[in-house]
Structure 1
Amino acid sequence: MRILELPIEYEFNNQKSYLYPSLIVKDNDLTLVDTGYPGFLPLIEHEILKNGFTISQLKQIIITHYDDDHIGSLYEFKQKYPWIQVISSAIEAKYICGAEKSERLVQAEQMLEQMTGEAADFGNWFVQQLNNLQHAAVDQTVQDGDMILDNQCKIIATPGHTSGHISLYFPAIKAVVTGDAAVAENGQLIVANPQFCLNLEQAEHSLNKVKNLGAKKYFCYHGGNISVNSTVI
């Protein structure tokens, strides 16, 4: 088993930005972790093909949590490749499939009430962005401690950024896919967007939880991967 980083370049507010979905390679099968913003399907397809794989090898998509930059293209993947199985925590599954309004949308609507001027313009755009997300069915739900991918991947509950956020730990290769439980900045792991965390105290606890797994490599959706030589960063 190995994990590849898929650097996705895009523009946001006229600035070049990157996201780093992870591609888990096990035997001849692929598992994608998170799907970028809406419209990112071709960009991710290109990266998968560039690494020498075919899309027919993509069997599963794991969603770490419900945010527009993580689930944005999930519906497109399921429509184009209906065999793909979607995995998430039970909490996030309710929002991904549309059974309940997402925590992020509730938060955004509440924050918008306090905004004025340019901040309100952004707030309105963000609420609309969340309202426009298309829902997709979740095929398998997981919880803390579950082992998936032939018992080679352990689900780590990392709430805080959202209530049902999960990260993925691979003991055999000492690697963690963090989602937004941690972002890479200046060679360090830090809390992702503290101002948007639904519970900052939980987010800080989850950050320490992934730091203390004893991993040698952390694959961060924001900031890319970090290799470490110690158990605590």
Structure 2
Amino acid sequence: MYEATPIVNGFPGKTETHGSFGWSSVWLLRGFDRVIIVETGPPSYLPLITTALSELGLGTNEVTDVLITHAHWDHLGNISLFPQARRWIGRVEYEWALSQAPDEPFVSQPLLGALSHPQGLLRLIDGESELVAGVRAHNVPGHTPGHLAFAVDTTEGPKLFTGDAAKNIHELESVAVDSAVDRGLGARSVTWIREFARNTGSSVVPGHDVECELTGHGWQRRSEQRAEIQFFHRRDAPPARISLSDAELGPVAVEPFPPECGMPRPSINEQANAE
């Protein structure tokens, strides 16, 4: 069995003005003489990944395998970090992504090209199969045509890494899939994920959320979902800290950061009245 460790927990967010945050889930699996990364996150994750691996006593060149659920940029963004790793992705997905026009949303041709470099490391998955001991690929199309999920035997019990077939707890619960090539097919895949979790006792790691589990009361997160964002809201003040958490029952909290470089700390009223 594998020891499973979250490297970066995904976050289910997007904006009306700047699109998706692209904060996807990245996990580490260790077992059977393998060191496996599940997804690689967006390019901005590079320092988070290298720091987390270093704290676990690992270098990026020690990763033996990288599992990719689908070909979008926020899941492929750091594939080049792992020069020794085999890169696993569905053949249908890979061929579909390569055929897309440059303006296809979320598909980055340069990142797709990085999958096949160095040569000899790309592994195209044909259908549902066991990839390495304790890791099995399952078809969950809809978000993209060849999307895969990965079922893994871990020391904490079975886990299913769904990628963006189910991006967050809302999609798991509502079966309403946002951003999909085929929404009907995507809804069927979410239904399959629910039945798989029910029948196998698997927890689920969505593409943009913390680990979830199916209970008698529906889907529940296994840990707090939280994020903090700095917002430089005024030219003469330090940034505000916007804290987001599913543990908060009231409105989103906005607090100033501590003073930096001797700059005065604005009061909450000053922030509220800022233009």
TM-score, normalised to structure 1, is: 0.72
Distance apart, 1:6 and its partner CA: 1.7
2:165 maps to which of 176, 181, 194: 181
- Aligned-pair identity (%): 17
2:41 maps to which of 36, 40, 43: 36
1:86-97 alignment runs, 5 A limit = 86-94=87-95
Name 1:4's counterpart in structure 2. 5
Matched, 1:142 2:125: yes
1:113-128 alignment runs, 5 A limit = none
- Partner amino acid for 1:170? V
1:67-216 alignment runs, 5 A limit = 67-74=72-79, 76-77=80-81, 81-94=82-95, 100-102=98-100, 107-108=104-105, 130=108, 133=111, 135=113, 136-137=115-116, 139-150=122-133, 152-170=134-152, 173-185=157-169, 188-189=172-173, 194=178, 196-213=179-196, 214=199, 215-216=201-202
Distance apart, 1:206 and its partner CA: 0.6
1:180, 1:192 within 8 Å by CA — same for their partners in 2?
no
SS at match of 1:181: helix
1:31, 1:60 within 8 Å by CA — same for their partners in 2?
yes
Q: Deviation per CA, 1:11-52, whole angstroms, max 9, x where unpaired?
A: 985998743212122144211111112343332122222334
How many correspondences in the alignment? 204
Shift in CA distance, 190/30, structure 1 to aligned 2, threshold 3 Å: farther
Q: Which structure dedicates a bigger proportion of its chain to helix?
A: 1
Distance in structure 2 (CA, Å) of the matches to 1:176 and 1:9 = 15
Q: Which deviates more, 212-221 or 160-169?
A: 212-221
Shift in CA distance, 189/64, structure 1 to aligned 2, threshold 3 Å: farther
- Partner amino acid for 1:4? T
Distance apart, 1:217 and its partner CA: 1.1
Distance in structure 1 (CA, Å) of the matches to 2:21 and 2:95 = 33
Q: Deviation per CA, 1:72-126, whole angstroms, max 9, x where unpaired?
A: 222x22xxx4321111100122356xxx3337x5644xxxxxxxxxxxxxxxxx7
- Partner amino acid for 2:160? V
Distance apart, 1:131 and its partner CA: 5.4
- Partner amino acid for 2:127? D
Distance apart, 1:154 and its partner CA: 1.5
Distance apart, 1:211 and its partner CA: 1.2
SS at match of 1:228: strand
Shift in CA distance, 92/200, structure 1 to aligned 2, threshold 3 Å: same
Q: Deviation per CA, 1:135-185, whole angstroms, max 9, x where unpaired?
A: 1216211133201222x1121100000001000113573210111111233
